[in-house]
Amino acid sequence: MFTKVERLISSRNLKPKKKEGFLKIISIFSFVGIMLGVAILIIVMSVMNGFKTDLTNKILGLNPHIIIQPNSFIIDNDYVLKIKKNFKEASISKTYSGEGIIIINDKAKGIIFKGVNIQEKKIKDFFENNIVSGNINQFEKNHIFIGTELAFNLDLKEGDSINLMSSAFVATPLGSLPKQETFKIAGIFNTGFVEFDQNIIFLNIEDALSIFDKDTKDQNLEIYLKNPLEANIYKKKIEKLNQNYFIYTWADLNKSFFSALKVERNVMFIILTLIIIVAAFNIISGLTILIKNKTKEIAILKTLGLNNTSIKKSFFLTGFTIGFFASISGIILGILFSLNIEKVRIFLSSVLNVEIFPSDIYFLEKLPSEINLFSIFIIFILSLLVSAIASYIPARHISKMKTFRALKYE
């Protein structure tokens, strides 16, 4: 693609003379600018990808993939058997959830009560993987499990007794009052998802139905799939079995959140791409000055028989080489930083004495990072494209130069 002469001219252009020190500075700024632009773009995209993946895994690990609500109809055993028959790989669980208030001493907090059957495999696996205090065998009648964040905020521990107040009302001589029962803390769990750990408590399904004054016909059906990303496909198939029930997936519950995350990721990509574009302007200015300074040499090369195309290619290669090696360096720097970003966060937090990436805001305990090779490839190609355009713009003006004018006073 490039001849030996073109490569030779390009290499000489990359080593400016002492009197052309300004060109060297511009070249360095071009290199550093593109390198940092590529590195920052990779780091930000890795964090965004990691953030999305971690949250998705947390959501999928803590929530059912498909939920079927009775919607004033009874979910009978025949319907459950149909689902089991048609979707043998799916795990089915019966639960009931509602909102209420947890009361302890002079403290109260709004909370979500979730009634589950500890004998069901998916529920049992969840507790075994996330319990930090207590034992699942203690999860009996009038016993609950709470999250670590809730336990910390309300100063609770295993064995403490607390009052739970539901949104159901019972008739008393004093009028209708919210239903209230006393429970004992059987254990404490920690999922690493702060929002979940401070806002949900688990009860036995019988206790949940009792405190909300509900019956077994009011239970929800929760379905767990081997591949949660196929939830919407399964949803459409399940809807055909019976359209009387209200069916929704984990994706439906978090649609606005993931849409906002996607928009934010795309906007960040566009904004950070501007860093590379701005850095590329240094290539344009550097090559323009270089060509201006090399007017006499270009004229001599033309006189010796080198055509305009070869000269343009040699100067194009000069700028493109800067962009190429800057992109490679940026990729290496970005990957290394992304792989050690949690260590960098801890270091900066200790040095600056500022909490970076607070868990109560971002719902995760550590700064996530996921390197996506396809994203890196796109960034690399984009960087090369910008460098190529920036190198071509000044190089194409060489054909307009007049040889006799350049040598007129020599």
Dihedral Cα 384, 387, 393, 397, nearest 10 deg: -100
Q: Which residue has the higher pLDDT, 7 or 325?
A: 325
Q: Could you give the CA distance from residue 282 to residue 301 in angstroms, rounded to a whole number? A: 26
Distances (CA, A) of 13 to 8, 263, 287: 9, 43, 9
- Strand, helix or coil at 81? helix
Q: Which residue has the higher pLDDT, 172 or 338?
A: 338
Domain ranges of the chain: 4-57+257-406, 91-224
Read off the pLDDT band of 288 (50, 70, 90).
Answer: confident
- Across 150-157, average pLDDT: 87
- Dig out the tokens for 229 from the structure: 């990303």
Q: Is the pLDDT of residue 64 over 60?
A: yes
- Average pLDDT over the chain reads 79
Q: Which residue has the higher pLDDT, 174 or 260?
A: 260
Q: Is the pLDDT of residue 391 over 90?
A: no
Q: Which residue has the higher pLDDT, 230 or 170?
A: 230
Q: Could you give the CA distance from residue 210 to residue 231 in angstroms, rounded to a whole number? A: 31
Among 31-35, 185-189, 285-289, which is the least confidently predicted range?
285-289
Question: Which range has the top average pLDDT, 3-17, 287-301, 358-372, 386-400?
Answer: 386-400
Among 29-43, 179-193, 289-303, 331-345, which is the least confidently predicted range?
289-303
- Across 352-366, average pLDDT: 63
- Across 325-354, average pLDDT: 83
Q: Is the pLDDT of residue 205 over 50?
A: yes
Non-local (6+) Cβ contacts of 335 within 8 A are 42, 371, 376
Read off the pLDDT band of 332 (50, 70, 90).
Answer: very high
Where b means 16+ CB within 10 Å and e means fewer, 85-112 reads: eebeebbbbbbbbbebbbbbeeeeeebe
Q: Is the pLDDT of residue 50 over 60?
A: yes
- Across 219-242, average pLDDT: 83
- Dig out the tokens for 316 from the structure: 């194009």
Read off the pLDDT band of 409 (50, 70, 90).
Answer: very low
Which residue, 81, 92, 83, is CA-closest to 119? 92
Query: What number of residues does the chain have?
Result: 410
Non-local (6+) Cβ contacts of 329 within 8 A are 31, 35, 38
% of the chain residues with pLDDT over 70: 82
pLDDT confidence of residue 118: 82
pLDDT digits (tens, 9 = 90+) for 360-382: 555 566 777 888 888 889 888 98
Among 11-25, 131-145, 181-195, 363-377, which is the least confidently predicted range?
11-25
Q: Is the pLDDT of residue 69 over 80?
A: yes
Among 48-52, 248-252, 405-409, which is the least confidently predicted range?
405-409
pLDDT confidence of residue 175: 65
Read off the pLDDT band of 394 (50, 70, 90).
Answer: confident
Contact 211, 164 (CB under 8 A): yes
Question: Which range has the top average pLDDT, 59-68, 173-182, 321-330?
Answer: 321-330
Q: Which residue has the higher pLDDT, 7 or 156?
A: 156
pLDDT digits (tens, 9 = 90+) for 84-122: 888 877 888 888 888 888 888 777 888 888 888 888 877
Q: Which residue has the higher pLDDT, 23 or 306?
A: 306
Among 233-247, 306-320, 355-369, which is the least confidently predicted range?
355-369
Q: Which residue has the higher pLDDT, 143 or 358?
A: 143
Beta bridge partners of 221: 68, 94
pLDDT digits (tens, 9 = 90+) for 38-47: 888 888 888 8
